Structure 1
Amino acid sequence: MKKQKNFIKFPFLRTLAVSSLLLHAAMALGSDRNAQSEDSFLADMPIVLTASRLSQPIDEAPAAVTIIDRQMIRDSGAWDLSEVFRLVPGMYVAYHATDTYTTDSTVSYHGLSDAYSHRMQVLVDGRSVYSPIFGGTLWSDIPLALDDIERIEVIRGPDSASYGANSFMGVINIITRHSAESQGGMLSLSTGRHRDEAVARFGGQNGDLTYRLTAGTRNDRGENAKITRPLSTLDNWDNNKLDDKQIHLLTFRSDYRINATDEMEFQFGYNGGTRQEGWSDSIIALDGRSVSNQFELLKWSRAHEDGGGLSVQFYHANESSTATLFDMQHGNTMNGDTKADRYDLELQHTFLPTSSTRIVWGGSVRSDYVYAPIYFKNSITNAPQYQEQSFFLSRLFGNLEWRARPDLIFNLGAMSENNSYTGNDVTPRIAVNWHVVPNHTLRASYSEATRTPTMYEKNREVAYLGTYLSKEMDREQIKSSEIGYLGKFPGLNIDLRLFSDELSGLIAQTVSAVLHNNLNSGKARVKGLEGQLQWDVGAQTRLIYSFSHIEIDSSNLDNMTYTTAAPRNSQSAMLTHRFNQNWSASLMNYQVGATHFPGSDAGSGDNPQYFIDFNRRWDARLAYRFKAGRGNGELALIVQNLADAHYFEYRHDNELPGRSAWLNLKLEM
């Protein structure tokens, strides 16, 4: 195993000491705390919607929250949606890391995951896009255009109290723009090395009805066919995955203002096309996998004069694909078709019982139905066990916010959930936020969360039941404690989080774990410090810097090497500058420490045969804005991997493409 490089110049304890000094300085800014009013603590703080399901200033939320706004997305030069999460402290992102069922990127908070990252919940406008089959998120298949995103809220830490099982390590909520904010036309054209895209949007209004229609097509030719610097020349390790994508997109949103208090929202989305999968010497789709991902959402909401409200939301989502798979080793063809349908109904009610308390509560029911014969079969006889699987869950949730005094806020929340696989779960959370002085807040919280086995994991258990297994697969559990600090200085915002997570019942990813009868054998303690700084260096210059230090302690049962399942140190930085009203530029730097994810190598069990080494990457964007008739235009040059570095992410057959550049022309009318 290679020794990890400690590229963060200040060690963990020194960072903690610096944080303490900053806090001490903040407390010295004002000693007359009791004379402060509530308004003095809330000045200029961004509002977040996701952490507790209540609208709250970020320094009163019960969890650490990172906000990625439209400008950050644009300045980052991201091509894939998954790439913007490289800016989040503690987030591990790997380009096109998955190679079965879909070739897609991996996004995981604090690592500790397989390529599908099924220990984190992802929502789009509150609608779960957690895949029913393998879990995790199929990032390339989400029916969503980057330009339709208003903001992204990332909950850094467990949030099962608000969103149930699978909100295990964190939650990402992608919030799209209201259709009233997307009026007129927009055309975006991109072309460059290995990638081309065209996106068109039109928004209109008819009385109290506003709407937006977005359509797009993308051709992404992915990684190079051959690895430039393979870790080994044996067993075809010089071959990259097959990961070309053709993506066709169509989304629609309408918002109808019924009266002064009531509003109806309707959304439809479709994402389809062909995707390559696998690698040249294994199981591949002969003509590529044809993918279709679509949803329909209907939501009614009522706003009360006192700030409360009521909403009812229903959505249906379908995830399907067709493929004839070919086994290069044995010469067999197989049916690789899949189909997954989800139906979800949710009610949420917010009210203010007293002047110092707010309560949000509600419930939901969900049904998943999946057809995937190649993935749901007996692992011994290789015969399908059944044609369709189903999964049901029901939830009841609630959160109480109590302002004990202007500077002290308590959040108490819990989720009660019942599902087909693990029965009943109750996941609580308690948090207290103390405004030490205006613009400086301490947060302490404790929460518990669970993760339900995915359908694929449950099928693997059923396949071996009665032959090897002596107990049924159970839920994964986490107990999380944290202390946070949010500080606002002139031109500088600071967000620090000190955390300790106890994980148990982790489901092993290798066959060897099944043979040892230990389906839920994994345990790990994850602790560390992470933070983000936003510094307005000048009137036209901003620096956003994130860092993370993680330590994992585990007995690594069943050869699952959890102790190396996250980079010990990682950091990212984005420097943006506006030269004048026309020209702007941004420079991004990402650095990730060495990792070895459990189940990621090609050997038996999980004995590390290689280690993904420390890597560094530079991206840049240069843009020119101009008038285009009655509208505006922008021409941007984006270059990823400026230094043409050839390194690996997640595993040995996942070498990031070399230097990639493209031009983007955007016209708004």
Structure 2
Amino acid sequence: MNMQSPGITQTLLMSLALFASAAEASDDRLLSEADFFVDIPEVTSATRMPQKLSEAPASMTVIDREVIEASGFQTIPDLMRLVPGFQTYTLNSDTPATSYHGAAGEYPNQLEVMIDGRSVYLPLLSTVRWETLGISIHDVERIEVVRGSNVPTQGSNAFLGSINIVTREPTATSGLDLTTLYGSDNTRNGHLSFADSNGLISYRISANHEQSDGNDHYSNFYTGDWFAEDGSDGKWQDEQSRNYLNLSTTWTPDLVNSLWFQAGIDRGTSRMGALDTEDAHFADRDHESAFASARYNHLYSDTGMVQLKASLNRLSLETPKANAAEVLTELGVPGPANCTASGLSASARSICTARLQAAQSLIDLNDYHLVEENGKTHTGDIELQISDKRENLAVAGGIGYRHMAAKSAVLLQNGQVHEDRSRLFANADWDFTPRWQLSSGVMYEYSSEASEAFSYRNALIFTPRQGSSLRLGYSSSERLPSLLERYGEATLYLGGDEYDHIRTPTPDLEPEEISSWELGYYQTLPGQRSYLDLRIFREELNNVVDSFLLYADEEDGRVFTSRNTASWINEGAEAQLRFELTPQVWTLLSYAYINTKHSNWRTGEDKVYEGKRFFNVSSNISPEHTASLMLNWSPDPTLDLTLSHYYMSGVRWIDSVELPGYNRTDLRVAKRWQVSRETELEAAVIMQNAFEPDYQDFYELNEFDRRTFLQFSIRHD
């Protein structure tokens, strides 16, 4: 698939528009009244109120259980490849990340990610670590993705968009479900869940184990003088393992009250190492996370509801301290691996011993770690919301409070930092005529750091008929800086004196700003869950937080900090088409064109060495073209065949180098057997990147090769 031709965007959008026009023009022949009353998915993530996709004030994508199973994916971020404008990449073999409209780095920080409405954004790292969330792809019922700033509904973290992962309801599932998967990189996964109802109480328990040896890598770092004694050849693998357990319960004592509760723990180890250099160091990072979330709903009328919800997230990340050999190698100090080796002079032994002692002193004094993901963080949140609908007006509003704290001897050396945020929000949908609707949302946030953010969104929606809508929207939003961005602090001391000031805090950072226009079109099509979704957008981002170099009178001549210096403009178009070709065949197509224009913003003071004073990257910091195509065929009820293709054009990620575009084709073949009325077996073969060559994934030395997996499932009701 070659997406580089200049007219590809116009051609595709015109084709889709003509397709939609033809569908409307042939209304009498192709579309009956029943076609427009097909099950249009209902969503809540855009306004906090249940509404059909055709009535939402923002472009949205819903990934349902059918698509999740057909994809053959093993991680939730991989599913974002199916969403227009999203990019998914891995930092190591098993450390995924996802961004919207590119311009992202190792820690993408402008997306809100929620699980059943509970934010899982980490104040310690200013991002989401997907492998610590306590759920897997088997626990997901659907994913609601808001494409575009959703701050007026979900707060600061939803600066560019939001992802709400809706887990499988205890009331909607029953019985035992066991899935195992084996394959490339010595992957060994197992998932077990059980759901049941006991009168007024329903529950679902889920347990999971994942293990992989990862990819083979090489580092010159571990072949130097100080490692010769160990016989190290520099080879390493980014292996990973994790286990989790979670519980979901629902209690419905009567028709107007319900209580939902969810809790879980997740423990695991990932081998971390930067793959942007052949001299990378690596270490095992252990994680231990726990969460609890509760939601109480009370229907006070036929149309009105009061909702009270609270949640708590905790995460601990641990990496080992560096050893003396690693520190001396990093500093470029030559020396023998063994200070007592025969043939060394007394003077050489003395120098060798002194160097090891000095390195160990630096480690002990500074709690020095080569891999920085080390520390503890917790977030507590409580929110009260009231929603109601009167004739042609639907409203939802409320108040919320969030407490965030983080502690890290590596990233936050001034001690534990914390922040309290209060928020007021409101959304209203007004049907001022049978075909015209005005949707408005507003969010005000106040931070204990003496800063505030105000965001709003307005959308005018024209509905010529059921299942068809044209939308013009504008939003202006602000994002409050994270704890790490404000208070990141790192200094090395040696012998009681400052040796290297690495990072200094910037507590007075200002909010980031985004203003965006969009024109959207949504049309249901004949067939089950068939639709066309088009979007044209323009986003202007200002005051974006970026790393900034201050001049320092020391050996490396600089100190890192954060500044509101970055800005860019995104213009482009997105398209998504899901269509049922026959009762046995359906397809899902997505495409995005993004043109990112950025200024060469300041990244350092005048005295900082040349080449580090401006962000002067001339290549694309967002992939200009991304596309995906999924084709699913079920020739009979027991056989399921899926072909998926993914394309992304070349990009220069913020924390990486310019990488070429890639094509990737995945295959899945699944066969089911109905053993009895209650028991079903399934076997599936999954091949990722089946036909294409290896491609570079985020880092130049991180290659994604062909991978094959065999999956077995048993379901017993």
TM-score, shorter chain, exceeding 0.5 = yes
* Matched residue, 1:11: 8
* Paired AA for residue 311 in structure 1: Q
Deviation at 1:18, TM superposition (A): 3.7
Q: Distance in 2 between matches of 1:637 and 1:519?
A: 49
The change in CA–CA distance for 1:585 and 1:40 in structure 2 (over 3 A counts) is closer
Correspondent of 1:543 among 583, 587, 599: 587
* Matched residue, 2:342: none
Deviation at 1:223, TM superposition (A): 2.4
The change in CA–CA distance for 1:562 and 1:260 in structure 2 (over 3 A counts) is farther
Instruction: Tell me if the contact between 1:29 and 1:437 (Cα under 8 Å) persists in the aligned partners.
Output: no
The change in CA–CA distance for 1:241 and 1:121 in structure 2 (over 3 A counts) is farther
* Paired AA for residue 490 in structure 1: P
Deviation at 1:49, TM superposition (A): 1.3
Deviation at 1:126, TM superposition (A): 0.2
Deviation at 1:182, TM superposition (A): 2.3
Q: Distance in 2 between matches of 1:184 and 1:338?
A: 39
Correspondent of 1:366 among 388, 392, 402: 402
The change in CA–CA distance for 1:131 and 1:516 in structure 2 (over 3 A counts) is closer
Q: Per-residue displacement from partner, 1:222-260 (whole Å, max 9, x unpaired)?
A: 223259xxxxxxxxxx98985311110101011011211
Q: How does 1:293-372 map to 2 (within 5 A)?
A: 293-326=289-322, 327=326, 328-330=329-331, 333=363, 334=368, 337-352=374-389, 354-372=390-408
- Residues 363-372 or 456-465, more deviating: 456-465
* Matched residue, 1:270: 265
* Matched residue, 2:223: none
Correspondent of 1:202 among 180, 194, 201: 194
Q: Does 2:190 align with 1:176?
A: no
Deviation at 1:65, TM superposition (A): 0.5
What secondary structure, in the 3-state scheme, does the structure 1 residue paired with 2:91 have? coil
Instruction: Tell me if the contact between 1:312 and 1:348 (Cα under 8 Å) persists in the aligned partners.
Output: yes
* Paired AA for residue 315 in structure 1: S
Deviation at 1:518, TM superposition (A): 7.9
Correspondent of 1:44 among 27, 39, 46: 39
* Paired AA for residue 627 in structure 1: Q
* Matched residue, 1:450: 478
* Matched residue, 2:667: 620
The change in CA–CA distance for 1:562 and 1:179 in structure 2 (over 3 A counts) is farther
Deviation at 1:459, TM superposition (A): 2.1
Q: Per-residue displacement from partner, 1:332-353 (whole Å, max 9, x unpaired)?
A: 642564111111111111012x
Count residues in correspondence.
Answer: 626
Instruction: Tell me if the contact between 2:124 and 2:376 (Cα under 8 Å) persists in the aligned partners.
Output: no
* Matched residue, 1:106: 97
Instruction: Tell me if the contact between 1:47 and 1:57 (Cα under 8 Å) persists in the aligned partners.
Output: yes
Provide the aligned C-alpha RMSD in A. 3.0
Q: How does 1:528-567 map to 2 (within 5 A)?
A: 528-558=572-602, 559-560=614-615, 561=617, 564-567=620-623
Q: Distance in 2 between matches of 1:284 and 1:122?
A: 28
* Paired AA for residue 458 in structure 2: I
* Matched residue, 1:646: 694
The change in CA–CA distance for 1:295 and 1:240 in structure 2 (over 3 A counts) is farther
The change in CA–CA distance for 1:60 and 1:191 in structure 2 (over 3 A counts) is same
* Paired AA for residue 502 in structure 1: E
* Paired AA for residue 180 in structure 1: T
Deviation at 1:627, TM superposition (A): 1.7
Deviation at 1:40, TM superposition (A): 10
TM-score of the pair, normalised by structure 1: 0.88
Instruction: Tell me if the contact between 1:509 and 1:599 (Cα under 8 Å) persists in the aligned partners.
Output: no
The change in CA–CA distance for 1:8 and 1:588 in structure 2 (over 3 A counts) is farther
Q: Does 2:91 align with 1:96?
A: yes
The change in CA–CA distance for 1:187 and 1:17 in structure 2 (over 3 A counts) is closer
Q: Distance in 1 between matches of 2:697 and 2:489?
A: 30
Q: How does 1:321-470 map to 2 (within 5 A)?
A: 321-326=317-322, 327=326, 328-330=329-331, 333=363, 334=368, 337-352=374-389, 354-376=390-412, 384=413, 386-421=414-449, 423-460=451-488
Q: Distance in 2 between matches of 1:299 and 1:493?
A: 33
Q: Distance in 1 between matches of 2:682 and 2:27?
A: 46
Instruction: Tell me if the contact between 1:547 and 1:569 (Cα under 8 Å) persists in the aligned partners.
Output: yes
Q: How does 1:280-299 map to 2 (within 5 A)?
A: 281-285=279-283, 288-299=284-295
Instruction: Tell me if the contact between 1:268 and 1:296 (Cα under 8 Å) persists in the aligned partners.
Output: yes
Instruction: Tell me if the contact between 2:209 and 2:241 (Cα under 8 Å) persists in the aligned partners.
Output: yes
What secondary structure, in the 3-state scheme, does the structure 2 residue paired with 1:66 have? strand
What secondary structure, in the 3-state scheme, does the structure 1 residue paired with 2:415 have? coil
What secondary structure, in the 3-state scheme, does the structure 2 residue paired with 1:140 have? helix
What secondary structure, in the 3-state scheme, does the structure 2 residue paired with 1:542 have? strand
The change in CA–CA distance for 1:198 and 1:309 in structure 2 (over 3 A counts) is same
* Matched residue, 1:577: 633
The change in CA–CA distance for 1:582 and 1:16 in structure 2 (over 3 A counts) is closer
What secondary structure, in the 3-state scheme, does the structure 1 residue paired with 2:273 have? coil
Q: Distance in 1 between matches of 2:239 and 2:481?
A: 30
* Matched residue, 1:600: 656
Correspondent of 1:635 among 683, 687, 690: 683
Q: Does 2:209 align with 1:217?
A: yes
Q: Distance in 1 between matches of 2:236 and 2:459?
A: 45
TM-score of the pair, normalised by structure 2: 0.82
- Residues 588-597 or 563-572, more deviating: 563-572
- Residues 123-132 or 400-409, more deviating: 400-409
Deviation at 1:421, TM superposition (A): 3.9
Instruction: Tell me if the contact between 2:486 and 2:508 (Cα under 8 Å) persists in the aligned partners.
Output: no
Deviation at 1:157, TM superposition (A): 0.2
Q: Distance in 2 between matches of 1:167 and 1:314?
A: 19
